[in-house]
Structure 1
Amino acid sequence: MLLTEQQEMIQMVAKRIAKEKIALSAKDVDEGGHLSWENVRIMGENGLFGVHVPEEYGGVGSDMVSHVAVVEEIAAVCASTSVTLSTQALTIAPFLIAGTEAQKRKYVTPLATGQVLGSFGITEPGAGSDVSSLKTTAVKSGDSYILNGHKVFITNAGESEIYVFVTRTSEERTRGISLFVVEKGTSGLTFGKKEDKMGIRGSVTREIFLENVVVPKENMIGEEGHGFKVLMNVFNETRPVVGAQATGIARGAYEYCLNYVKERKQFNRPLHQFQMVQAMLADMAMRIEASRLLVWKAASLIDQNSPNVIAQSSMAKCFASDTAMEVTTNAVQLLGGYGYIKDYPVERMMRDAKITQIYEGTNQIQRIIIANQLINQD
């Protein structure tokens, strides 16, 4: 699958920014465990947050294929910064899928231009893979809704200005779910401590508490009780983005490793001359290429509004994230003792890769989704 001229141009812009700007701070971002607002500024000024967003809402007006190509380029040098991109897309998605025109203009435009960051509050202490068991409530009161609940593992929590929350508006499992947008500073919206994570340490993760948070009814995204359907459509669009992130992490580790084995010598021979090393490199390269093609295919199906996107999105996310874990682990192995030292980037990439198998639906859940789609297809 080849990129169009526009898609290729957008990818090249992202590649240049990644190499000349984002890569320079990747080590410091990881070690400091902080969000890089400088990287946010750089990506915003270059339109990377809104690549797939229509121009009328502040975006570039391209497509999902371009977006995943951009995410891969950023992830290849700094996974933490790529999470900022993917989370912004996650927050934008429900507005583009089910938002009103007023909501799109009010919220999508500042998100797409990078003026503010956004967060999507889905996960709860008792609701991870099983979203339908969430407990956060939204109770109607006149022309408003009152939100109460507890969200965990929320990316950019405390840093974002715009929050989308998945809530329960009735006791029905899937038909009782609704989405609301809440702005930072709203009374009753508070944040927990910053989580100390194994990987993607330059992406801030916190708990969120909602205590009698009052929002007007116009802050509901879509219709009451239709939130689960919107959420599933959001995941169909964002899982390939995680696949792109995973592909980028794997590629970054592979490229570093390839250069290393060309220079490193053992038994008076460069490492790349040993057949076992060659076989590992070949497997790494094949899996990365296959991951990218799966991701691009899923993204192209999204652009075509294809009904077959569900299985393809899960395949892309699952295969690419498994690939990222395998490739980064092998990269550490090929660097030997040096691979285990923080002076070399592959140990960071290995830590970063693990989360891609977990968020946006664990890979165990992805396999169930894929199997169900295969069994039930016409």
Structure 2
Amino acid sequence: MAWRGCSRLQLQLRRCLGDRQAWGRRGIVSCIDPSVGLTEEQKEFQKVAFDFAAKEMAPYMAEWDEKEIFPVETMRKASQLGFGGIYVQPDVGGSGLSRLDTSIIFEALSTGCVSTTAYMSIQNMCAWMIDTFGSQEQRHKYCPSLCSMEKLASYCLTEPGSGSDAASLLTTAKRKGDAYVLNGSKAFISGGGDADVYVVMCRTGGSGPKGISCMVVEKGTPGLSFGKKEKKMGWCSQPTRAVIFEDCAVPVANRVGEEGQGFNIAMKGLNGGRINIASCSLGAAHACILLARDHLKVRKQFGEILASSQYLQFRLAEMATRLVASRLMVRNAARALQENREDAVALCSMAKLFATDECFAICNQALQMHGGYGYLKDYTVQQFVRDIRVHQILEGTNEVMRMIIARSLLQA
């Protein structure tokens, strides 16, 4: 089997491939089967991802959430399967897979733990940005250790005063000889304080998007510090902190791309990030439908199992329909992005808007079907609800997605 340079994943496939019927008995339901329409190769690495999620993530997701454990060693195990740099080029340690392949993998992994998978998607995005826009020296310096997750990465765009309006960011980078001196702060940074590499958008020029550049800042650089660890509603298996720059000198050699190219780099990264986070929502929704189905089949009220209620049958049918529609939108957008089509930005925004809204509604309905039990932390469904709520906010709020889609239509 040719595997486009990804020998680690190929070896794992040879070990893990087995009886597909046995896989089917683990809970795959035909009408929502996520493998429908995939190539044999895609089905194989999807199975590896499902297996990893079931064995290495799902049994621990509640503990990671409750104790706010950042499961670095588990993520490094995932990187041994090729999941640390899925769409990074193989010559620097990546798997060289497509955006659709990436979506398939993140959807499967998220059935085991959304929060941890979402951080891995950010790691992948940072590695891809350096791989795509960095110099050969930068690619070979940073990407191998990021793809192996020996080193962790954080994406630093959002600031306390600029979230949706990213082009108004205020963190400055003043050129002084062979260095840039950074001053400012970033907010809500996943991996902040724990990550080793920070991909930072900062202002090297005038106001607006054309004044923004991209820098790689390494942990331990004098002038780099971090805020307190945030207490969050969800995404508790990954730390979130402010990242602070106070006269932080960064070598000019750490600038990714040319001056003024940073905003373009950031937006291109986010297009893929929107597909990734929508894919994480798909995994959560798929898991919640199975949890709801199983609960309806055993829980009794008024002398009958809940599954006999036509009302609940209809709601379950609606949940399944929303999931399949969302998956089709996400995969269509992933193909458009891979092909660099003109409509890719709008389609990525549509997919992120639709999938994160619909999948949250699916998970929330699954919790409702559990009744009071769904509100207990002993039941997994509540964690899926908490973890994917933020997907409607990050990588561009869903209100911003609507703006992008409308602008695409009106400018045509």
TM-score (norm 2): 0.89
Superposition pairs for residues 228-267 of structure 1, below 5 Å?
228-267=263-302
Distance 2:346 2:383 in 1: 30
Give the one of 124, 135, 149 matched to 1:100.
Answer: 135
**Helix, strand or coil at the partner of 2:175:** strand
Give the one of 59, 62, 66 matched to 1:27.
Answer: 62
Output one character per residue of 1:249-302: Cα deviation in whole Å (capped at 9) or x when no partner: 111111111111111112222211111101110111111111111111111112
Match of 2:376 in 1: 341
Match of 1:45 in 2: 80
- Sequence identity percentage: 39
Distance 1:116 1:306 in 2: 33
Output one character per residue of 1:334-370: Cα deviation in whole Å (capped at 9) or x when no partner: 0001011111011111111210000000001101101
Shift of 1:55: 1.0
Match of 2:303 in 1: 268
Which amino acid in structure 2 is aligned with residue 25 of structure 1? Y
Match of 1:182 in 2: 217
Which amino acid in structure 2 is aligned with residue 53 of structure 1? V
RMSD: 1.2
Distance 1:233 1:362 in 2: 16
**Helix, strand or coil at the partner of 2:233:** coil
Which range moved further: 92-101 or 255-264? Answer: 92-101
Which amino acid in structure 2 is aligned with residue 32 of structure 1? K
Distance 2:347 2:128 in 1: 18
Output one character per residue of 1:11-66: Cα deviation in whole Å (capped at 9) or x when no partner: 11101100111111011011111211232122122211122222111012221111
1:10 equivalenced with 2:42 (yes/no): no
Give the one of 227, 237, 241 matched to 2:262.
Answer: 227
Give the one of 321, 339, 359 matched to 1:286.
Answer: 321
Give the one of 108, 111, 130 matched to 1:73.
Answer: 108
Give the one of 336, 340, 350 matched to 1:315.
Answer: 350
Which amino acid in structure 2 is aligned with residue 93 of structure 1? W
Are the counterparts in 1 of residues 297 and 307 from structure 2 also a CA contact under 8 Å?
A: yes
Match of 2:248 in 1: 213
**Helix, strand or coil at the partner of 1:108:** helix
Give the one of 191, 197, 202 matched to 1:162.
Answer: 197
1:325 equivalenced with 2:356 (yes/no): no
Which amino acid in structure 1 is aligned with residue 186 of structure 2? K
Output one character per residue of 1:189-234: Cα deviation in whole Å (capped at 9) or x when no partner: 1111110000111111001111111111111111101111121111
**Helix, strand or coil at the partner of 1:316:** helix
Shift of 1:307: 2.0
Aligned residues: 377
Shift of 1:324: 2.1
Are the counterparts in 2 of residues 253 and 346 from structure 1 also a CA contact under 8 Å?
A: yes
Output one character per residue of 1:88-116: Cα deviation in whole Å (capped at 9) or x when no partner: 12212321331111111111121112211
Which amino acid in structure 2 is aligned with residue 105 of structure 1? H
TM-score (norm 1): 0.97
Shift of 1:376: 1.8
**Helix, strand or coil at the partner of 2:227:** strand
Which range moved further: 37-46 or 100-109? Answer: 37-46
Match of 2:31 in 1: none
Match of 1:301 in 2: 336
Distance 1:74 1:33 in 2: 19
Which range moved further: 58-67 or 116-125? Answer: 58-67
1:143 equivalenced with 2:191 (yes/no): no
Are the counterparts in 1 of residues 179 and 249 from structure 2 also a CA contact under 8 Å?
A: yes
**Helix, strand or coil at the partner of 2:361:** helix
Distance 2:142 2:41 in 1: 26
**Helix, strand or coil at the partner of 2:258:** coil
Shift of 1:172: 2.7
Are the counterparts in 1 of residues 89 and 131 from structure 2 also a CA contact under 8 Å?
A: no
Are the counterparts in 2 of residues 167 and 178 from structure 1 also a CA contact under 8 Å?
A: yes
Are the counterparts in 1 of residues 281 and 391 from structure 2 also a CA contact under 8 Å?
A: yes
Distance 1:365 1:140 in 2: 33
Give the one of 92, 101, 125 matched to 1:57.
Answer: 92
Which amino acid in structure 2 is aligned with residue 124 of structure 1? E
**Helix, strand or coil at the partner of 1:193:** coil
**Helix, strand or coil at the partner of 2:228:** strand
Are the counterparts in 1 of residues 106 and 279 from structure 2 also a CA contact under 8 Å?
A: yes
1:171 equivalenced with 2:222 (yes/no): no
Moved >6 Å (runs of 4+): none
Shift of 1:323: 1.3
